[in-house]
């Protein structure tokens, strides 16, 4: 397969495979390679068009009989946390976060493996090795960062506090795209997944970026249900990005 950058991107279509979100459905994806000097601009354009990035590939669903996957982005400056989210922010006020270049660490991989073993034992990433993880983090030709979230250090210790959550994030011209995130699932009372989304909304506002891209939402998929709680948000429909109008604002 030709992976060289050209003046126009070349798109490919995957073979049908079982859908990971809706039982009984088959999925196909259209994808292209994000390489070369234009990778950053292309990632911006494709993300705004409903694509997601995985390593140096941008992809989006191209299923023949289903349109359930909807691209979701939060309108950052209009977002106001509800009561439950304010409790999550308060519960994690002691955490420190640091932004790094997209470089993996042994500590990150250890947390990643614990996360997969607890939450995604049967998923497509369940057998990822340390090398696979390193490629996932490093294989990016766009502006990607790793954000680490840590507990306070132990009293009297010069070592940093325990790593409890990590986000792999692309910085776009119009927002932050949460490529992948994982966390210590034992700390369920902290709702670390929700907290990382809230933190990205804060960061987007501080950077003057209008959106936080969350990837795809599938109505009826339990593993994607959390995305719909961050309002207001837009969904990419046939007529373009459209403000989502829920029946009731979730509390």
Count of other CB atoms within 10 angstroms of residue 158: 6
The reply to whether 135 and 195 lie within a common domain is yes
Of the candidates 105, 108, 70, 88, the one whose C-alpha atom is nearest the C-alpha of residue 199 is 88
Please check the confidence at residue 210 and state whether its pLDDT lies above 70: yes
Is the domain of 174 the same as that of 206?
Answer: yes
Q: Are residues 125 and 203 in the same domain?
A: yes
Q: Residue 102 above 80 pLDDT?
A: yes
pLDDT-based confidence at residue 23 (cuts at 50, 70, 90) = confident
What separation in angstroms does the CA of 159 have from each of 101, 162, 166, 181, 238? 20, 9, 18, 24, 51
pLDDT at position 123, please? 57
In this structure, the answer to whether residues 61 and 163 fall within a common structural domain is: no
**pLDDT of 222 higher than 90:** no
Q: Is 118 domain-assigned?
A: yes
- For residue 249, being part of any structural domain is answered with no
158 pLDDT band, cuts 50/70/90, is confident
Q: How far apart are the first and last CA of the chain?
A: 48
Q: Which residue has the tokens 């950077």?
A: 207
Looking at the fold, whether 32 and 121 belong to one and the same domain comes out as no
**CA dihedral for 99, 104, 105, 111, sign (positive or negative):** positive
Mean pLDDT of the residues in the chain: 91
Q: What is the mean pLDDT of residues 11-17?
A: 95
Asked whether residue 145 is domain-assigned, the answer is yes
Whether 250 shows a pLDDT value over 50: the answer reads: no
d(CA 12, CA 33) in angstroms, rounded, equals 9
143 and 89 co-located in one domain? yes
Distance, in Å, from the CA atom of 249 to the CA atom of 176, rounded to the nearest integer, reads 24
Instruction: Give the chain's radius of gyration (CA, Å).
Output: 18
Summarize pLDDT for 194-203 with one digit per residue, the tens: 999 999 999 9
Residues 44-64: what's their mean pLDDT?
95
CA-closest candidate to residue 91, choices 198, 205, 229, 240: 198
Give the separation between CA 178 and CA 167, rounded to whole angstroms. 7
The SS3 call for residue 151 is coil
Residue 174 lies in a domain: yes
Q: Report the CATH number at residue 109.
A: 3.40.630.30
Q: pLDDT band for position 41 (50/70/90)?
A: very high
- Can you give the pTM of this predicted structure? 0.90
Domain with 165, as residue range(s), is 72-243
Where is the domain boundary, 30, 52, 68?
Answer: 68
Same domain, 195 and 165: yes
CA nearest to 226, candidates 85, 58, 59 = 85
Residue 94 has pLDDT above 50, yes or no: yes
Instruction: Please tell me what DSSP assigns to residue 20.
Output: S
Whether 30 and 150 map to the same domain: the answer is no
- Residue-level pLDDT at 121: 58
Which 3 state secondary structure label does DSSP give 117?
helix
> Which pLDDT band, with edges at 50, 70 and 90, does 190 fall under?
very high
CA distances to 88, 99, 126, 217 from 102, rounded to whole Å, are 27, 9, 22, 26
Reference 48, options 196, 234, 245; nearest CA is: 234
Q: Do 99 and 205 lie in a common domain? A: yes
Cross-strand bridge partners of residue 18: 26
> Do residues 136 and 183 share a domain?
yes
Residue 7: its pLDDT value, please?
61
The verdict on 81 and 20 lying in the same domain is: no
Report the alpha-carbon distance of residue 84 to residue 81 in Å, rounded: 8
Percent of the chain with pLDDT strictly greater than 90 = 76
Task: State how many domains the chain has.
Answer: 2
Residue pair 212/233 in contact (Cβ under 8 Å)? The answer is no
The candidate with the shortest Cα–Cα distance to 27, out of 16, 14, 41, is 16
Q: Give the pLDDT band of residue 120 (cuts 50, 70, 90).
A: low
The domain boundary, picked from 47, 68, 89, lies at 68
């Amino acid at each position: 397969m030709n992976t060289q950058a050209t003046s126009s991107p070349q798109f490919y279509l995957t073979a049908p495979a079982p859908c990971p979100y809706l039982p009984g459905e088959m999925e196909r994806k259209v994808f292209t390679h994000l390489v070369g000097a234009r990778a950053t601009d292309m990632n911006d354009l494709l993300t705004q068009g409903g694509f997601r990035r995985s390593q140096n590939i941008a992809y989006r669903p191209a299923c023949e009989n289903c349109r359930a996957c909807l691209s979701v982005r939060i309108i950052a400056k209009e977002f106001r946390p509800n009561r439950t989210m304010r409790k999550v922010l308060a519960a994690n006020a002691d955490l420190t976060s640091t932004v790094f270049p997209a470089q993996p660490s042994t500590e990150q991989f250890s947390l990643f493996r614990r996360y997969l073993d607890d939450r995604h034992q049967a998923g497509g990433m369940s057998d990822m090795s340390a090398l696979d993880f390193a490629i996932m983090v490093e294989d990016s030709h766009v502006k990607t960062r790793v954000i680490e979230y840590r507990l306070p250090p132990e009293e009297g210790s010069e070592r940093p506090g325990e790593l409890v959550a990590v986000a792999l994030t692309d910085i776009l011209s119009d927002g932050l795209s949460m490529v992948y995130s994982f966390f210590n699932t034992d700390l369920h009372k902290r709702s670390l997944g929700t907290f990382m989304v809230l933190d990205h909304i804060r960061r987007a506002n501080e950077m003057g970026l209008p959106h936080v891209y969350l990837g795809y939402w599938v109505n009826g998929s339990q593993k994607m249900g959390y995305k719909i709680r961050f309002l207001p948000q837009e969904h990419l429909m046939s007529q373009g990005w459209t403000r989502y109008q829920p029946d009731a604002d979730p509390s």
